[in-house]
Every structure is written in C-alpha cells, then in structure tokens.
Amino acid sequence: QSSVISDFDFFYFVVQWPGSYCDLKKACCYPTLGKPASNFSIHGLWPNYDDGTYPQNCDPSDTFDYSQIQDLIPQMNKYWGSLSCPSSDGTDFWSHEWEKHGTCSGGLSQHEYFAKGLALIKSLNLLGSLQNAGVKPSSQATYDVSTIQKALGSAIGFTPGVECNTAANKNNQLYQVYICVDKDAETFIECPVYPNGKCKPSVHLPTF
Ligand code: 5GP
Ligand code: 5GP
Ligand code: 5GP
C-alpha cells in the first residue's frame, strides 16, 4: 500500500460541516485563531481508486513543511482549520493530510496540493445552494437527504456523496460531503464510486 509511485483514479474532495463535528459527545476545540465561520470547511483532498480503495502514506520521506505553504496560511486558516482537540493552529491537521493523502496525489508539490484544495472550496457556494433549497442551519429542522444532495449537486454539477454522524442528542446530521474531482485536482466529475458513509432519509444541519 505504501509506494512512492502514486497512481490513483480520482480525488474525493471532502468538506465538513463544523456544527456536526462539534455537536458530538466527543468535544471539538476551536482553532487558536478563534471560532471559524458557520460554513463548510476542508477536511481533505484524497486520492482514491475507482474500486473504493485508496493509497495512503505514499512517501514517508516527504514530510510536511510549513515554510512551503507560508503564503497560503491566511487562506488555510479560513478554509482548512482544525476543530480537533486540543485547540491548534492547524499545522498537525495539514501535516496529517499531506503525509497521508497529499503524498499520493501523483506528484503535486505541497504548495500545489493545498492551493488546489483552497481553489476548489472557493469555487463552490455549498451553503448558498442549500439555502436556495430552503435548507438552513437549525437546531430543530430536518430535511430530506435527497433535497440536500440535489441542492449540493446543483452547486457542483454532479451529485456528491454525503456522510452523516450522530449528535449527542441522537440526531442524524450532515457531517461531510464527498465531492469527486478529476486527477487534475480541478475538474468536478461524476463520482466513479460513492463512499461508505450514509445518511438516514431525514437529516439535521445543526447550527454552529
Ligand atoms: P473514518 O474512519 O473517520 O471515516 O476515516 C478515517 C480516515 O480514513 C479519513 O480521515 C481518511 O483519511 C481515510 N478515509 C476514509 N474513507 C476514505 C475513502 O473513501 N477514501 C480515501 N481516500 N480515504 C478515506
Ligand atoms: P483523515 O485521516 O480522516 O484524513 O483525518 C482525520 C484526522 O485528522 C484525525 O486524526 C483527526 O483527529 C484529525 N483532525 C484534526 N482536525 C480535524 C478536523 O477539523 N476534522 C476532522 N474530521 N479531522 C480532524
Ligand atoms: P482520528 O483518529 O482520525 O483523529 O479521528 C477518528 C474519528 O473521530 C474521525 O471520524 C474524526 O472526525 C473524529 N474525531 C477525532 N477527533 C475528534 C474531536 O476532537 N472531536 C470530534 N467531535 N470528533 C473527533
């Protein structure tokens, strides 16, 4: 599974809803810079195979180097912050994503890898597309998962995969969206395979 030669078929561009990461029994912690916006943020850009498996940790010698993405840090803080505990400046999260996934991205440099992820999220108005479909963050409301997928699909051009988790109060809530991207790390494509994560028919989008 570990190889310097990183062939793969496509990327999952995975974004998370902060309200659903934090609304669990497990605590979340805001980044050292403060509470992020109530909007989707990046989890990762993950090389994947069409059969659903994926390469990881393709080049252990190519460790994360903060200095290579120095110019991207303000945008990284805005779009790719870490909500895990303890509070952090994101470096551990970015390091994990680069070393596990980025090193398998077919030769992208660290700077290219993170810049592509940032460009992808900036090109999408996921929250706006949900709002247009009447789906807005709420502690009470539930939405049909098909409404959510259709709305997100209208922003992307293709239907994404959706993954839900279970809140401390047992609500089924939208946690992550899996958006399929061509090997160029730029072009949205129809998903060759959908991830395992599932949602129940009725979904919450908790406030954050
Ligand atoms: P979890 O078990 O929390 O769903 O996923 C743990 C980690 O496995 C993720 O953070 C990600 O690094 C990796 N992972 C899970 N599912 C997929 C997948 O379908 N494709 C890829 N490329 N990585 C995945
Ligand atoms: P994956 O291996 O699934 O790509 O990434 C998950 C790892 O990143 C876990 O070790 C998790 O603790 C860490 N992590 C740090 N910050 C975040 C965050 O904001 N969201 C998620 N999903 N994982 C985070
Ligand atoms: P990891 O071991 O990769 O850190 O995380 C395993 C699972 O637990 C992932 O699905 C991740 O999203 C979740 N997770 C990890 N750390 C935290 C945390 O601090 N808060 C919450 N709510 N979930 C976390």
Q: For the chain, what percent of residues have pLDDT higher than 70?
A: 97
Asked if residue 46 has its Cβ within 6 Å of ligand 1, the reply is yes
Q: Cα–Cα distance between 119 and 80 in angstroms, integer?
A: 12
Tell how many helices (H) and how many strands (E) occur in the chain. Answer: 6, 6
**Is 111 considered catalytic here?**
no
Determine if the pTM surpasses 0.80: yes
Say which CATH superfamily domain 10-125+158-199 falls into.
Ribonuclease T2-like (3.90.730.10)
Ligand 1 atom with the smallest distance to the CA of 97 is 12
Is residue 115 a contact partner of residue 101, using CB atoms and an 8 Å limit?
Answer: no
Give the Å distance between the CA of 67 and the centre of ligand 2. 22
Ligand 1 atom with the smallest distance to the CA of 48 is 22
Q: Give pLDDT, residue 1.
A: 44
Is a pLDDT exceeding 70 seen at residue 80?
yes
Asked if residue 105 has its Cβ within 6 Å of ligand 1, the reply is no
What confidence tens digit (pLDDT) does each residue in 82-124 have? 999 999 999 999 999 999 999 999 999 999 999 999 999 999 9
The ligand with the least distance to the CA atom of 95 is 2
Ligand 2 atom with the smallest distance to the CA of 83 is 19
What confidence tens digit (pLDDT) does each residue in 154-191 have? 999 999 999 999 999 999 999 999 999 999 999 999 99
The half-sphere exposure of 106 on its side-chain side, counting CA atoms within 13 A, is 15
**Is 204 considered catalytic here?**
no
